[in-house]
């Protein structure tokens, strides 16, 4: 068993996006065989890129408020919400609030 605090994990900015930070909390380094658990923080007004890919996402919003892009446009999200993004669905997350938007995202290993 491995226990660690997410605040002790180095954050990176995916694709060099300012205001978007990702921490890989559990992944290959922890010898997790199937999934990666990632912790995202989006600063106010910041967003992930809009994209689609073959793998699914399971997301849990920890803190803040924002919007999730679906094929039907943007839908509001807030702390306590769960989100399932099926494979190949275009998606994006953006912070529409004034405080950081934080969420957990679980994906399968893609490498």
Two structure tokens written together for 78: 């807030």
> pLDDT for 59-76, tens place per residue?
999 999 999 999 889 999
> pLDDT for 11-44, tens place per residue?
999 877 899 999 999 999 999 999 999 999 999 9
pLDDT computed for residue 7 by the predictor: 93
pLDDT computed for residue 14 by the predictor: 82
Contacts of 29-34 with CB under 8 Å at 24 or more apart are 30/2, 32/109, 33/109, 34/108, 34/109
In the chain, what are the domain boundaries? 27-44+89-102
pLDDT computed for residue 17 by the predictor: 86
Mean residue pLDDT across the chain: 95
Rg of the chain taking only CA atoms, in angstroms: 14
Two structure tokens written together for 61: 């919003």
């Amino acid at each position: 068993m491995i226990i660690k605090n997410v605040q002790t994990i180095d954050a990176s900015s995916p694709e060099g996006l300012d205001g978007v930070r990702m921490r890989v909390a559990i992944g290959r380094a922890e010898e997790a065989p199937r999934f990666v658990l990632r912790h995202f923080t989006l600063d106010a007004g910041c967003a992930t890129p809009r994209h689609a890919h073959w793998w699914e996402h399971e997301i849990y919003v920890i803190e803040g408020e924002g919007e999730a892009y679906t094929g039907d446009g943007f839908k509001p999200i807030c702390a306590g919400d769960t989100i399932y993004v099926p494979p190949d669905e275009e998606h994006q997350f953006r912070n529409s609030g004034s405080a950081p938007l934080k969420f957990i995202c679980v994906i399968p290993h893609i490498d």
